[in-house]
Structure 1
């Protein structure tokens, strides 16, 4: 019997995802047509013996989250529950705090997945590796180039046994080209080191706080407090994958993740990909169109386009490398490239809305998305264009490399600006 835990964080995180995270919790943001964490849940539900999926985070259980959980339970016929932390507890604190819920029923092991990663989730392969060589901690790893490895948790392994000999979170100098994917398989024994960290935090806190009410004791960072401390002691192993993987830290990386998932749909969900039909819009490459969307037959879509619920796409529209969210309208002959169009927004006829992608180097098979910074030398860097919810773009204007906050009605063209 197996379980899975998805760590969804809280509203204090995901600031780089604004303004999109103003409208919906980041884990529910649609990537390739479905909420970000539905990709995780689909992968977990396919593992034989999966009994329950738990979400742990600090979001208030609002209507959107509740509705999503109810729909997911029905679709996957699995108990899927949300456990809300009383304060943000870090990547490991929630696991320890809810240990009784995780271990209820006596699971053989449990998966732990960060919500903000995109992957093909080789969970069955990880399980086979774990059963062949059971240990408390199994980490999924992939390779990065030397420069980009500094942005991740770096793993030094024994190439014969795959034991993790050394672990450093975001090192200042090169340590290893194997990086942590934020996807794990833990045995029940893995909770003992978390307990040790909790007790040590409590003791340290009581030395500083004579009242004994130490709020930080429950905060446990898996990476620094557990992996770095236990590396080289025969408890942590790594399973390497060469499948798709990317972090989803910002809107730009969400657009890249959408491209990766749309490509995966060729194998996993071909029914989600739009087909070119006589009298229908012209489809180029991988495109997702929600069944309720209305797309004019003269529109040209793709590659790598996701169109949400109730969207209207007018005659002659050109749409490429973009996400168009619920209820948006693209009027006749608009051109939308490398852009996220927010909920209920309208792009006027003959307008052009375009961004600049920040894609990994296509000539480097180990390259990943760079951690994007919005500014350099006080100037906004070229990046994808983001329209917040209910933005109105007038006819015949150009919006280039800009971020438009929600509820704005523009009257002219903008380039390289954040429009507040």
Structure 2
């Protein structure tokens, strides 16, 4: 038997994801028509012998229980549970706190997936690699290769290419260490828990750690710094470099990139989720009707209403209950639940919040920097909100929930918090 642990953090984290996280927990934000963490679950249920998925975080149970119930009904062959931390416990503290639940049933190993990554998760290959070294490896890391400049923003690994052993690990080093980086996806042997116990007790003995000024108690354990770094060079830590697509989702803007790639993956994994031919089954007699002009890849929820003269794509996701009027053009964007896009509106490189209304002939547009297409890793960047001059970086435009953009107004490279009535044009602004 195998298990999986998905670490979703809590509302005290992910502030760069605002305003989208103000009314939806970040793990439940829809990318390519599915909550971010559902993509993790879908990858896990494909693994042979995986019987249980434990989602660990500091979100209130009330915020997660509806989603968990839906997932359990959808994937009834696997047990899916949410375990709420009593306080934020760090990237490894939650695993140690719920060690009995993870070890219950005596699994051969368990996956650990960070909730803020998106990927074509090669979990079976990762497990097979780990199992082939089970006599030695406590943890196997999924790794990918970055450029020299980008690598310092991630956990860097020095890997022995012949064996896969990790001889050195540094989290966000101050200078270049290696182009191989940590993807935040792991396979762990249950023998890792004595290591976590040793870390827990050593921290408990440090007087400055117990309920200190930072508000951290002795259960707070950092996976990367407290576990991975000391294990490197002991022949207990391995890594498997993979060529698969991977990205972090730290900022709201990074959802556009993740949306693009999940839609592309749907061609192989879930082609029924795409409306790539411009036709849609009416659900009655099996006939189809023209829904709109389509440039693949596009996902449209079954309850959305799209005028036949609208043009969508490439890389567009339309949520439930959305209404799109005649002559609308949408590209590289996510439109969330019950939003209304009125006649002849242009939406480019943007996220439109729930129940927002964009009036006729309006423009909502972002201008993300286009990385070198020959360096696909460059697209994974999560740029800071402001540049060195204090100005808003070129980015996608984000409208929070229930924002009203009047007729013929332009919103360019801006972030709008929820419940705003815009009365003029905006460019490179944050509307509070």
TM-score (norm 1): 0.97
- Residues 45, 399 of structure 1: CA spacing in aligned structure 2 closer, same or farther, 3 A cutoff? same
Question: SS of the residue aligned with 2:128?
Answer: helix
Give the deviation of 1:280 after TM superposition: 2.3
Equivalent position of 1:26 in the other structure: 26
Contact 2:153 2:173 in 1 (8 A): yes
Residue 140 (structure 1) aligns with = 142
Task: Report the equivalent of 1:84.
Answer: 84
Backbone CA RMSD of aligned residues: 1.5
Residues 1:287 and 2:298 are matched in the alignment: yes
Q: Distance in 2 between matches of 1:107 and 1:358?
A: 45
Shift of residue 215 of structure 1? Answer: 4.9
Pairing of 1:204-283 with structure 2 (within 5 A): 204-205=206-207, 215-274=216-275, 275-277=277-279, 279-283=290-294
Please give the residue correspondences for 1:2-401 in structure 2 after superposition, counting only pairs within 5 Å. 2-62=2-62, 64-77=63-76, 78-134=78-134, 135-205=137-207, 215-274=216-275, 275-277=277-279, 279-376=290-387, 377-401=389-413
Structure 1 contact 148–368 (Cα < 8 Å) conserved: no
Contact 1:109/1:186, CA 8 A, preserved across alignment: yes
CA contact (8 A) 1:165 1:231 kept: yes
Q: How far does residue 386 in structure 1 lie from its aligned partner after superposition?
A: 0.3
Could you tell me how far apart the structure 2 residues matched to 1:41 and 1:308 are?
A: 20
CA-CA distance at 1:359 after TM superposition: 4.7
In the aligned structure 2, how far is the partner of 1:290 from the partner of 1:155?
41
SS of 1:218 mapped into structure 2: coil
Q: Tell me by how many angstroms 1:368 deviates.
A: 4.0
Q: Distance in 1 between matches of 2:164 and 2:226?
A: 21
Unaligned stretches of 5+ residues in structure 2: 280-288
CA contact (8 A) 1:156 1:165 kept: yes
CA drift of 1:371 comes to 2.8
Q: 2: distance between equivalents of 1:359 and 1:113?
A: 29
| SS of structure 2 residue aligned to 1:251 | coil
Structure 1 contact 256–359 (Cα < 8 Å) conserved: no
- Residues 383-402 of structure 1 deviation map (CA, whole Å, 9 limit, x = unaligned): 10000000000001111001
CA distance in 1, matches of 2:324, 2:331: 13
Could you tell me how far apart the structure 2 residues matched to 1:390 and 1:189 are? Answer: 49
Tell me which moved more, 70-79 or 288-297: 70-79
Name the CA shift for 1:347/1:210 in 2 (closer, same or farther; >3 Å): closer
Q: CA deviation at 1:366?
A: 3.9
Gaps of 5+ in 1: none
Native 8 Å contact 2:209 2:216 kept in 1? no
Q: TM-score, normalised by structure 2?
A: 0.94
